[in-house]
Amino acid sequence: MPVPEEVLKVVELTKKHNTWRKKCINLIASENVTSPLVDLVYLSDFMHRYAEGMPFKRFYQGTRYVDEVETYVMNLMGELYGAKYVDLRPISGTTANGAVFYALAPEGGKSCIVKLSGGGHVSHSKYGIMGALKITPHELPFDVETMNIDIDGAVKMIREVKPKFVVLGASLYLFPHPDKEIKEVCEEVGAVLVHDVAHVLGLIAGRVLPNPLERGADVLTSSTHKTFPGPQGGVIMTNSEKLYKKIKKVVFPVFVSNHHLHRLAATGITALEMKYFGEEYARQVVRNAKRLAERLYEYGFKVLGEKVGFTQTHQVAVDVTEYGGGAPVAETLEKANIILNKNMLPYDTPDKIKNPSGIRIGVQEMTRIGMKESEMDVIAEFIKKVLLDKKSPEEVKKEVVEFRKQYQKVHYTFDLKDLGLSEIVYLSE
């Protein structure tokens, strides 16, 4: 039969998206690109299959290789992060958080979290899965100058609140969170310390940030697709057998049935990329973020964290109030093919959620396609042209597209040709 127009519509939209994003400077801090080898193992028969339960203890037949892959990748992740127990079944970071929160407070209770305006993730808040589980979050004090948790204030609050657990980690995550200091007070009050490392998982693997498991965190939760450049998914890691037994019984059957099996091999390849290339990649990510922050600051932008070196991660936070706020700035830059997001800053009130003071910038994806410090200078200049020089975004877009042509290959990975494999061809216009 002739191909229906509806089919062509979906194909064309996919082509348009693929083509457009390869012409953009993507600075979304929660995204990355997978390598061709990751894509190759991702597109497998695993995507059609089901495997409820734990490896070798399934509720379905036909999982012999699923079990082997899952166990192998659990071991890889455990080796990479120094974790005895790894659960790859959560299909997102939020799912991982939900499983851990429910395991720790099945009847509800109190928690302490990083506040939303300080970068805390919505899943940690009363608006997200924590609120849905009837857990009451108390927001830890935040220090704007250091762009980090106010340790003294946090210790005082935890002693007063006596929560069942404390959650560190955030979506706006410029500096390592104080696991060691918070763990000490958690032990005083009998609280579990959870650290959501979704944004910095790849930087921990690359040893440019400390591993929270080595600094007192009881449980790590994470997604697998930000600075850790894998397929979209989630993971939970711990060295506590007691906690692991609680958590794994919640992951399935409460939060996950089948866990999207094509993620497993793809996550394994990404873990191996981090094992062999992670330090080089992570060091370059941090160098790039610092360079971009410095250049924007030199142009007169209000870059947060000035007194402490702007950033130690992949992220840069900029107050753009004088340019209309985060929403219009992000929209204007998108017209120039510069993609980033509006973001609340620590001093923003809840009514500013639709147009917060800030923008959040992440350099991990552009680093992955080969950009270094000199390219950060170019990106800073593009942003300056749009926001300070008031040049037409459409005109700057032409420069962005020309610039981006030079950066199409994924770095810090294994070459398919060395494996005797062919390159994947993507739909494009």
- pTM to 2 decimal places: 0.97
Residues 6+ apart with CB under 8 A from 241: 84, 85
pLDDT recorded at residue 425: 84
pLDDT recorded at residue 204: 98
pLDDT recorded at residue 52: 96
Which CATH number does the domain housing residue 70 bear?
3.40.640.10
pLDDT recorded at residue 203: 98
**Is the residue at 45 inside a domain?**
yes
pLDDT tens-digit readout, 89-132: 999 999 999 999 999 999 999 999 999 999 999 999 999 999 99
Name the band, by pLDDT with cuts 50, 70 and 90, for residue 424. Answer: confident
Give the domain extent around 116.
39-270
Number of domains in the chain: 1
Furthest-apart CA pair in the chain: how many Å? 71
**Is the residue at 212 inside a domain?**
yes
Name the band, by pLDDT with cuts 50, 70 and 90, for residue 383. Answer: very high
**Is the residue at 189 inside a domain?**
yes
Which of 126, 188, 184, 197 has the alpha carbon at shortest distance from 151?
184
**Is the residue at 175 inside a domain?**
yes
Q: Is residue 29 helix, strand or coil?
A: coil
The arithmetic mean of pLDDT across residues 38-64, rounded, is: 96
For the cut 90, the answer to whether the pLDDT of residue 136 exceeds it is yes
As a whole number of angstroms, the distance between CA 198 and CA 119 comes to: 13
> Exposed (0-12), middle (13-18) or buried (19+): which is 401, by Cβ within 10 Å?
middle
pLDDT tens-digit readout, 250-274: 999 999 999 999 999 999 999 999 9
pLDDT recorded at residue 225: 98
pLDDT recorded at residue 423: 82
**Is the residue at 258 inside a domain?**
yes
**Is the residue at 284 inside a domain?**
no
pLDDT tens-digit readout, 205-220: 999 999 999 999 999 9
**Is the residue at 324 inside a domain?**
no
% of the chain surpassing 90 pLDDT: 98
What's the whole-number average pLDDT of the chain? Answer: 97
**Is the residue at 310 inside a domain?**
no
pLDDT recorded at residue 193: 98
For the cut 90, the answer to whether the pLDDT of residue 230 exceeds it is yes
pLDDT recorded at residue 422: 87
pLDDT tens-digit readout, 317-334: 999 999 999 999 999 999
Torsion, Cα 187 191 192 193, to 10 degrees, reads: -70
Question: Is the alpha carbon torsion for 8, 14, 17, 22 positive or negative?
Answer: negative
Paired residues of 193 in beta bridges: 166
The arithmetic mean of pLDDT across residues 226-238, rounded, is: 98
As a whole number of angstroms, the distance between CA 229 and CA 341 comes to: 19
